[in-house]
Amino acid sequence: MRRILVAGNWKLNGNSHSVVRLASAVVQGARELTEVDIAVCPPYVYLPAVQAQLAGSRVALGAQDASVQDRGAFTGEVSAPMLKDCGCRCVIVGHSERRSLFGEQDQDTAYKFAAVRRQGLMPLLCVGETLDEREQGVTEAVVARQLDAVLALEGAGALTDAVIAYEPVWAIGTGRTATPQQAQDVHAFIRSRIARQDAGVAAKTRILYGGSVKSANAAELFAMADIDGGLIGGAALDAQEFLAICQAGHLQGQQG
Ligand code: 13P
């Protein structure tokens, strides 16, 4: 039985006023949306302010990244224990922007995944190919490499408390969404890759789609067999738009 998860990645946006407004509006709107899981991932510095709004609500707090280190002389880093202390329940790891803009390698992502799990938090592992890679026909090879780094370090069992997000880089922030079938094909591949190690875990792992999801396309994406929710960027900065996407997840959840 799958349950749709809609997570908002606010990236490097907002200020101390706007994040509180946005969080408060999401909390209000989420009250009725009982059949969908919802999380928001603000920038680090706003985690406590957003957590104050989310306390006691159905909306979980998440972070956008975490250090591989738990503590020590690592200037500028934020650790998974700190994120847990701030009330986070999930942490995005391996987002394509971390990979492409900040040089994060598959192995770094795997260590972050492990650091997050050590704290009992849920890693939200991002994978996905660039436009070049898609055009070269190596989408599955790229996604397999990214996934295998985590499977090799942590084993398939670790995915029991994790979520995967397939985010084709060419669809992020571009307005160019993968078609439901394009996304479904890669999601099915990801599930089959996990199943090679553990079919039981594969069947239960939630695989989210991310890349220009909006209220206009959410329902058709969530209706696909292997799409278990969405990781939302731009559209998560508008409470009504984000809630409309959550509503699509809620309706899908009601259908069973
Ligand atoms: P957009 O929804 O803005 O395309 O961003 C997707 C994303 O990167 C979420 O992590």
Q: What is the pLDDT of residues 68-123, one digit of tens each?
A: 999 999 999 999 999 999 999 999 999 999 999 999 999 999 999 999 999 999 99
Distance from the alpha carbon of residue 36 to the mean position of ligand 1, in angstroms: 19
29 bridge partner residues: none
Distance from the alpha carbon of residue 72 to the mean position of ligand 1, in angstroms: 32
Q: How far apart are CA 229 and CA 246, in angstroms?
A: 9
* Distance in angstroms between the alpha carbons of the first and the last residue of the chain: 8
Q: What is the pLDDT of residues 65-77, one digit of tens each?
A: 999 999 999 999 9
Residue 1 pLDDT exceeds 70:
no
Q: What is the pLDDT of residues 143-194, one digit of tens each?
A: 999 999 999 999 999 999 899 999 999 999 888 888 999 999 999 999 999 9
* The two structure tokens encoding residue 151: 């499977």
Active site residue 167: yes
Active site residue 104: no
Residue 50 pLDDT exceeds 90:
yes
- CATH for 4-255, options being 1.10.3720.10, 3.40.50.450, 3.20.20.70, 3.30.200.20: 3.20.20.70
Q: Is the CB of 142 under 6 A from ligand 1?
A: no
